[in-house]
Homo-oligomer: A and B are copies of this chain.
């Protein structure tokens, strides 16, 4: 089977945007067409990754609206929803559309518009991901994060400061990302003194509520070579679920979906965690960066916090994580986040990441839905 390539990418400014979902999608889509130098006529499939345009804005059918706005008709369209991992699921779907031969040119656009809703409203929409047996007790995703953070710190004798250092690192990276919601460093004291949200986690342990969109262009490698000499190959993809009912997990500090999906991606790519040069992990909460860094095999179980303490995951460390700023400072527009993760890896393996550039031939992105309920992992290599 021919390999699947990515030949173009774009992302809008993340943050509070005075534009509705269809405008955000159209902006990223148009910029991706230009980046890839592809005509809208050439698009066979147009996927939109989005969790909740109906709930947030009362608008559905947004892939059709996008096909219209980009003049991409009669391209086939669909919306791919896997809650907060919709972007990663969209990457998996786009890969399948090309690998199956159904499409010779697939554009994926992920996006979400959330900031016009109050924090309580947005949190409630997101909490509708949780299983009703937990939701009815008032459980939200931040509460799972607090419980798991406490368990992790106690089980592995990790200092509270190690979590805060994830936030400090990712904010530092975000300063060099012009698309990030926050381009501003924070110091350890600011994180540790911020208001408690879900003990032991505080405000700066959480990603913000964000509007934004990102896009990627996929095609077979032979088609890619007609467009450019400089493309990335999707060498591994994988996806898996963990139980939807979090309290049924025997060890909440192990994210089974992360473990399974990364193993699938490594197997397809014929690579292992030791081959990865740069990674984007789904740091919706600081604790998730530890759980995922261990889940994808970068560090032994209970050891990820040491890597942060020792600077291993800094941009000048041995294994840079979240060079984009991560969800923490770049922002987390649900359906866009997984697409934007792969955008960052694409830029890194092509050597086009500007001031954020690290030495990277192989990059990995892991996108997590709910509290690890559904996970997609993508591995890219430069050509």
Which secondary structure dominates where chain A touches chain B? mixed
- The answer to whether B373 and A129 touch across the interface, beta carbons within 8 angstroms, is no
Q: In angstroms, how far is the closest chain B Cβ from the Cβ of A237?
A: 7
Q: A61-B128, A96-B96, A125-B60 are in contact. Are A1 and B82 (CB under 8 A)?
A: no
Partner of A78, one of B61, B65, B89, B244: B89
Q: A100-B95, A131-B68 are in contact. Are A374 and B55 (CB under 8 A)?
A: no
Chain A: how many interface residues by the 8 Å CB criterion?
63
Residue of chain B at shortest CB distance from A49 = B78
- The answer to whether A374 and B97 touch across the interface, beta carbons within 8 angstroms, is no
Q: In angstroms, how far is the closest chain B Cβ from the Cβ of A171?
A: 29
Query: How many subunits of this chain does the assembly comprise?
Result: 2
Is A63 interfacial (CB-CB < 8 Å)? yes
Is A92 interfacial (CB-CB < 8 Å)? yes
Which B residues are in CB contact (< 8 Å) with A242? 73-74
Residue of chain B at shortest CB distance from A261 = B76
Which B residues are in CB contact (< 8 Å) with A131? 61, 65, 68
Which B residues are in CB contact (< 8 Å) with A97? 96, 100
A63 to B89, CA, bound (A): 12
Is A67 interfacial (CB-CB < 8 Å)? yes
Which B residues are in CB contact (< 8 Å) with A81? 60, 78-81
Residues from 43 to 60 in A contacting B, C-beta threshold 8 Å: 45-46, 51-52, 54-55, 58-60
Which residues does A use to contact B, with CB under 8 Å? Answer: 1, 22, 45-46, 51-52, 54-55, 58-61, 63-65, 67-68, 72-83, 89, 92-93, 95-97, 99-102, 125, 128-132, 237-245, 256-257, 260-261, 369-370, 373-374, 376
